[in-house]
Amino acid sequence: MDQSLGLVSLVVRDYDEALAFFVGKLGFELVEDRSIPEEGKRWVVVRPPGGGAGAQLLLARASTPEQQARVGSQTGGRVGFFLYTDDFWRDHARLTGEGVEFVRGPAEQPYGTVAVFKDLYGNLWDFVQLKGGRRTP
C-alpha cells in the first residue's frame, strides 16, 4: 500500500490576503485558483517552493460564523503546521526580511534546527531543517 496526505485545509478570512501571505511572503507556489460560482467560493491550493511529495494547503475561506471563529485558531494555540527546509538560515533570513513574525527563535534540537512563526492569522508553524536526512523529528 502506498498512501500520502494530499491536501490540508486551512480556514482563512479572505483568499487574496491569504495568497499575499503564503505566496508573497512565504514564497509558496500557487498550484490552483479556480472559481466555483455555484458555491460562491474558490478552490485555492498552494504548496511550499519545490513542491516535493508533501501535502499541499487548500486555502478555504470561512463561510459561516463557526468557521470564522476558527480562523487563526484551528489547533487551539498549538503548533499545527510544519514547514521543512533544506537551508534553515537562508530561508529564516528571507522570511524575517519579509516580515514573518517568529514567536520562538532558532534552536538546535536533536532532530534539527527549528523556530516557530505565526501565519497572518496567528496559526503557529514550526520551521524546521531536519538533521541527517531525517523525514520526521
Q: What is the topology classification, in CATH, of domain 72-137?
A: 2,3-Dihydroxybiphenyl 1,2-Dioxygenase; domain 1 (3.10.180)
Count how many Cα atoms sit within 13 Å of the Cα of residue 88 in the half-sphere of its side chain. Answer: 16
Nine-digit cell string for 136: 520526521
Q: Looking up cell 537551508, which residue turns up?
A: 87
- What ranges do the domains of the chain cover? 1-71, 72-137
**Domain 1-71 classified CATH 3.40.640.10?**
no
pLDDT in tens, the chain (137 residues): 778 889 999 999 999 999 999 999 999 999 999 999 999 899 999 999 986 778 899 999 999 999 999 999 999 999 999 999 999 999 999 999 999 999 999 999 999 999 999 999 999 999 999 998 666 77
Q: For residue 67, how far is the Cα from the chain centroid?
A: 18
Instruction: Give the pLDDT confidence score for residue 137 in this predicted structure.
Output: 74
Instruction: Give the pLDDT confidence score for residue 1 in this predicted structure.
Output: 77
